[in-house]
Amino acid sequence: MVDLLSTPAEYQIRNPGFAEEVERVFYEAPFVRHLDFELVSFEAGRCESKVLLQEKHLQQDGYVHAGVQATLADHTAGTAAVTLLAEGQIILTAEFKVNLLRAAKGEQLYCRSWVLKPGGQLIIAESELFCLAGDKAELVSKATVTLAVVDKR
């Protein structure tokens, strides 16, 4: 039987200091700090994050703002990509598309992201966002993110 859940060999860590770099990338973005996003876990080509929802995350009718969902999807996908970079490289978002599948209302937004296609110049990643309310989790949005790999200046 084919193992569909294992991390492909091409998704191996290339930077011995990747864990510190992941933490730096995730938490040093001022806008993300303002939104109170939390890093949950990461490994080669994957990242999970969450945010405990507050009033500042909502739009005028009490649902999670699409911008919050897009930012969490983009930032978590970018962090998944960072796990695969060589030392001295950074990523910049080149493009992303978010499908908002349903209105999101709950206590927490949870994101899981993974790299679909690693590359030397572009990395393609996907994110799924779930809204948690009590013991229920509902898929509320999906994103595809294209990230440019650049040398740190």
Is 136 within a domain?
yes
Total-model pTM: 0.93
Burial class of 148 by CB neighbour count within 10 A (0 to 12, 13 to 18, 19+): middle
Please say if the pLDDT value at position 2 is more than 60. no
For 83-131, write each residue's pLDDT tens digit.
Answer: 999 999 999 999 999 999 999 999 999 999 999 999 999 999 999 999 9
Is 90 within a domain?
yes
Among 9-13, 42-46, 61-65, the least confident range:
9-13
pLDDT at 13: 86
Give residue 112's domain range.
12-151
pLDDT at 12: 83
Is 132 within a domain?
yes
**In whole angstroms, how far apart are CA 117 and each of 36, 46, 84, 100, 146?**
29, 12, 11, 23, 10
Is 93 within a domain?
yes
Cα 25 from Cα 62, distance rounded (Å):
30
Domain count, the chain: 1
Is 62 within a domain?
yes
Q: Which residue has the higher pLDDT, 12 or 124?
A: 124
Is 4 within a domain?
no
- CATH classification of the domain holding 126: 3.10.129.10
